[in-house]
Structure 1
Amino acid sequence: MTDRTSATATAGGGLGAGGSTGPARAANAARTAVVWDALVELLSRLGHGGPLEIVDAGGGTGGVAVPLAELGHRVTVVEPSPDSLAALERRAAERDVAVRGVQGETRDLASMFEPGSADLVLVHNVLEYVDEPAAALRDVVGITRGGGAVSLLVTNAVAGALHRALAGHIDEAHHLLGDPDGRWGEGDPMPRRFTRQQVLELIGGAGLTGESVRGVRTFADLVPGHAWEGDAHAGQRLVELERSAAEYPELIGVATQLHVVAHRD
């Protein structure tokens, strides 16, 4: 198992960064550092130094899966898009690691994996798009071993209202706060957003026990683009700000995303 410092450095360009450099890479690091820190800590608790069986449900092009494979874990990405799976294969080859990619959705997990066969299942930005979030999470729990964990990342409804208001769309922000799916209107491209309470109810309903909800991208999506210009250290300072903000529950409402590590007893 790689220690936290080197693991963070390894994944700094991996969690969705692609080949970005400069300000784009720094901005991406600020958006992913909190989740990656939580995953590295979780891996050390689950693995006891050995490789884990990890399933990344809806893992896309492997932005998270490939860095996890670089740490020596056995990772399978379940993804409905063949184009994303092809990009995953290229990314893994470029980084010289093995990541298994299979086409499917959360409802297919039971037919792809033995019950309780995964040490960790990632469900990042998936529940926003499935037909039944509660059923999808139950499918995830079905393949998670006792004592294993689920990493859940969802879009925050409250922050969505804040962002619409800051963009000048006051009526849409108001509508979003009252909408059960957290949408600002028919033109909203996001099918669903979640409040903190809804996330906790989903976790409890699936038979998981959750740690505290952490805010992700608390400031990274609010800092104007010109703040990066001519400042080589701005990105790292924003990363540290994001890490600090995640420890303050009062800031959850500002965070674009909510992250929970939940455990199966």
Structure 2
Amino acid sequence: MTINVEAYYKDMTEMPWGKLFYQLLFEQIDKNIPSGAKVLDFGSGLGFTAKHLAKNHEVIAYEPNSQMISYSVNEGNFRQLTGDLDGFIDVMKEEKQKFDFIVIHNVLEYVSDKKGILSLLVNLLNTGGKISIVKHNPKGAILSQAVLQDNPKEALNLLNGEEKKSENFGTINEYENHFLEDILGGAGLKQNSLYGLRIFYGLSSNTEVKFTDEWYDNMLELERKTYENSDFVNIAFFHHLIFKA
């Protein structure tokens, strides 16, 4: 997987769409996480989510990519693990770790053994614990190509099942929500919540207006009012699913 970490960091820290993504995501998480939870952020990337959760929870973050670690926003308020997956598994076994809340956001699209990763995380979950999964929504990608990118040809390609690519992360191996429902449901978990992320704010190519406070405040409210409405969730660029053991 080819990663443009510098560009991704800039998107998430300087651009209004990056700030909106995390502000909305954190609101959704905070609605679902118990107080004083023990948290695992699996595939923690730059550490934004881990840093937010560490304000009120005990957080262990795992990120295997050294480039991501070099840009991490960790200020020492959460424990950062890195290295290969086998090493991570060894640490979990040696320390007999269990978690109340597990985060895996935009990770499964880039791993070959999705089922294996999900099984690993389920085994690390306490009884009654929750897993938060953020994933690309194939319908949202088609809409984005047709509207934001003005590229109906690529929208048709995606509609016909061709691979999707990210500017910062390369090929995205998308999957449908029912894959999660089948795997996690088979392990005894139930879907608690389904949210949309980036329903509207990524559809316009008018970048200039997005740097105004008026646009940001109204777009934030619009996303908030629609991210649990199934009609709008269906077309969101990302889906955020919460499963409970």
The alpha-carbon deviation at position 221 of structure 1 amounts to 0.8
The alpha-carbon deviation at position 232 of structure 1 amounts to 2.3
Residue among 150, 155, 158 paired with 1:176 = 158
Q: Partner amino acid for 2:74?
A: A
Residue among 27, 31, 47 paired with 2:17 = 27
Name the CA distance, whole Å, in 2 between partners of 1:148 and 1:246: 23
In structure 2, the residue matched to 1:232 is 213
Residues 141-189 of structure 1, C-alpha deviation per residue, up to 9 Å, x if partnerless? 111111111000001111111222233433432332342xx6248x993
Would the aligned equivalents of 2:164 and 2:172 in 1 still touch at CA under 8 Å?
Answer: no
Residues 12-54 of structure 1, C-alpha deviation per residue, up to 9 Å, x if partnerless? xxxx844x3xxx2x433322233211211222xx23xxx3211
Name the CA distance, whole Å, in 1 between partners of 2:69 and 2:153: 39
* 2:145 is equivalent to residue 130 of structure 1: no
SS where residue 141 of structure 1 aligns? helix
Residue among 74, 81, 84 paired with 1:92 = 74
The answer for unaligned runs of 5 or more in structure 1 is 1-15
TM-score (norm 2): 0.82
Residues 147 and 108 of structure 1: CA distance in aligned 2, closer, same or farther (over 3 Å) = farther
* 2:67 is equivalent to residue 83 of structure 1: yes
TM-score (norm 1): 0.77
Residues 77-136 of structure 1, C-alpha deviation per residue, up to 9 Å, x if partnerless? 111112322333xx332xxx4211111456655422246611111000000001121221
In structure 1, the residue matched to 2:192 is 211
Residue among 53, 75, 84 paired with 1:68 = 53
SS where residue 71 of structure 2 aligns? helix
Name the CA distance, whole Å, in 2 between partners of 1:173 and 1:61: 30
Would the aligned equivalents of 1:58 and 1:105 in 2 still touch at CA under 8 Å?
Answer: no
Would the aligned equivalents of 2:81 and 2:88 in 1 still touch at CA under 8 Å?
Answer: no
Would the aligned equivalents of 2:64 and 2:85 in 1 still touch at CA under 8 Å?
Answer: no
SS where residue 221 of structure 1 aligns? coil
Name the CA distance, whole Å, in 1 between partners of 2:219 and 2:86: 38
Would the aligned equivalents of 1:134 and 1:206 in 2 still touch at CA under 8 Å?
Answer: no
Name the CA distance, whole Å, in 1 between partners of 2:104 and 2:85: 9
The alpha-carbon deviation at position 209 of structure 1 amounts to 0.9
Percent identity of paired positions between Structure 1 and Structure 2:
22
SS where residue 113 of structure 1 aligns? helix
Would the aligned equivalents of 1:116 and 1:145 in 2 still touch at CA under 8 Å?
Answer: no
Q: Give the alignment of 1:1-265 within 5 angstroms.
A: 17-18=12-13, 20=14, 24=15, 26-43=16-33, 46-47=34-35, 51-71=36-56, 73-88=57-72, 91-93=73-75, 97-104=76-83, 109-114=88-93, 117-166=98-147, 167-179=149-161, 183-184=163-164, 189-223=170-204, 224-228=206-210, 231-264=212-245
Bigger CA drift: 190-199 or 238-247? 190-199
Residues 82 and 33 of structure 1: CA distance in aligned 2, closer, same or farther (over 3 Å) = same
Would the aligned equivalents of 1:154 and 1:258 in 2 still touch at CA under 8 Å?
Answer: yes
Would the aligned equivalents of 2:184 and 2:190 in 1 still touch at CA under 8 Å?
Answer: yes
Q: Partner amino acid for 1:113?
A: M
The answer for unaligned runs of 5 or more in structure 2 is 1-10
Residues 168 and 92 of structure 1: CA distance in aligned 2, closer, same or farther (over 3 Å) = closer
SS where residue 239 of structure 1 aligns? helix
Residues 35 and 42 of structure 1: CA distance in aligned 2, closer, same or farther (over 3 Å) = same
